[in-house]
Homo-oligomer: A and B are copies of this chain.
């Protein structure tokens, strides 16, 4: 049995919309609409127990999960919601021990969740260019205990000469213009490695998809995830009246080797694949044409509207 002590993290839970995430500190108290919550009252109790406020309201002492941290995260930007976090992990097959790269740390909601899955041996390398967000992210990572499993760096992946790492299992992109980093992401990924991008607009999905095809990704899938809550009550079960709005779209793909150059070559040779040296042939087209590619994508896409 796990008892709450000084410095234990606790979610004071009154109801789904009234809950407070704290670190227990003997002398502190939380003043709320439902009364005063004295930290000291929680000490020595088992997680799941309740305390009573001075207004006679029961508050449960829950052990915070990554979900609770994310829903209470301090965010300067839009966070990635659990419904989307979950699908990212399930679709990309993220597991402990993996090496993850993330472009665009934001408030670190995605970073934290993914770190909680790949730890203790896996690691998340996350890049951002905004010092303010980086500070918020660092604070958030620390709060949920994930800072050891994450390396934050101020680096603009779009313009980087040499990518800071390779052989990543999964790459995550959370930028306004995700298509601009596809060539770099490709270089950082293992063969067959997955990429996931957070795309709030349909236009981003469209441009990104074009860039992914151009940069030899396959199994490309764009999705939208709708979570509806249900009020299950005796004799009165129905969906909740409370609305659900848009959060974001997601775009997934896996790195492949299209061997375009070799294909052209091989055309004159009767379509035989030069299987003896797949590496050189496949690696080269990635680095350079990829950059041209992007330019092309831009030109095309602007004329397409």
**What is A's interface to B at a CB cutoff of 8 Å?**
1-2, 13, 16, 41, 44-52, 56, 60-63, 65-68, 82-83, 85-93, 95-96, 113, 116-117, 119-120, 167, 190-194, 200-203, 205-210, 218-219, 221-247, 249, 251, 254-259, 271, 273, 275, 278-279, 282, 300-302, 304-305
Q: Is the CB of B224 within 8 A of A228?
A: yes
Q: Indicate if the CB atoms of B254 and A62 lie closer than 8 Å.
A: yes
For the complex with contacts A62-B254, A83-B90, 9 further pairs of A-B residues with Cβ separation under 8 Å are A16-B219, A48-B282, A65-B92, A89-B89, A202-B232, A206-B235, A206-B237, A210-B234, A238-B246
User: Contact between A52 and B271 (Cβ–Cβ < 8 Å)?
Assistant: yes
In the complex, are the beta carbons of B191 and A1 less than 8 A apart?
yes
Question: Closest chain B residue to A242 by CB distance?
Answer: B245
Q: Please state if A273 and B52 are interface contacts (CB–CB under 8 Å).
A: yes
CB–CB A237/B201 < 8 A: yes
Please determine whether A2 and B190 come into contact, CB atoms closer than 8 angstroms: yes
Cβ distance A223 to chain B, nearest Cβ, rounded Å = 5
Instruction: Give Cα distance in the complex from A62 to B256, angstroms.
Output: 8
Q: Are A236 and B82 in contact (CB under 8 A)?
A: no
Contacts of A202 on B, CB cut-off 8 Å? Answer: 202, 230, 232, 237-238
- Nearest B residue (CB) for A14: B218
Cβ–Cβ contact A93 & B65, under 8 A: yes
Assuming A191-B1, A202-B230, A219-B13, is B56 touching A271 (CB within 8 A)? yes
- Which residue on B lies nearest to A191, using beta carbons? B48
Closest to A233 in B: B305
Known: A86-B87, A219-B13, A239-B246. A191 touches B234 (CB 8 A): no
Whether A48 and B93, one on each chain, are in contact in the complex, defined by CB atoms closer than 8 angstroms, is no
CB distance from A246 to the nearest CB of B (A): 4
Q: Which residues of B contact A83 (CB under 8 A)?
A: 86-87, 90, 225
Instruction: List chain B residues, Cβ under 8 A from A209.
Output: 232-233
Across the interface, do B222 and A225 meet the contact criterion of CB distance under 8 Å?
A: no
Tell whether, in the assembled complex, residue B279 and residue A46 are in contact, meaning their CB atoms are under 8 Å apart.
yes
Instruction: Considering the complex, give the chain B residue whose CB is closest to the CB of A231.
Output: B222
C-alpha gap A120/B191 in the complex (Å): 24
Q: Shortest distance in angstroms between A52's beta carbon and chain B's nearest beta carbon? A: 6
What residues of chain B lie closer than 8 Å to A96, measured between beta carbons?
96, 117, 119-120
CA distance A194 to B200 in the complex (A): 30
Q: Which of B50, B117, B236, B243 contacts A243 (CB 8 A)?
A: B243
Q: Are A49 and B257 touching (Cβ within 8 A)?
A: yes
CB-nearest residue of chain B relative to A51? Answer: B273
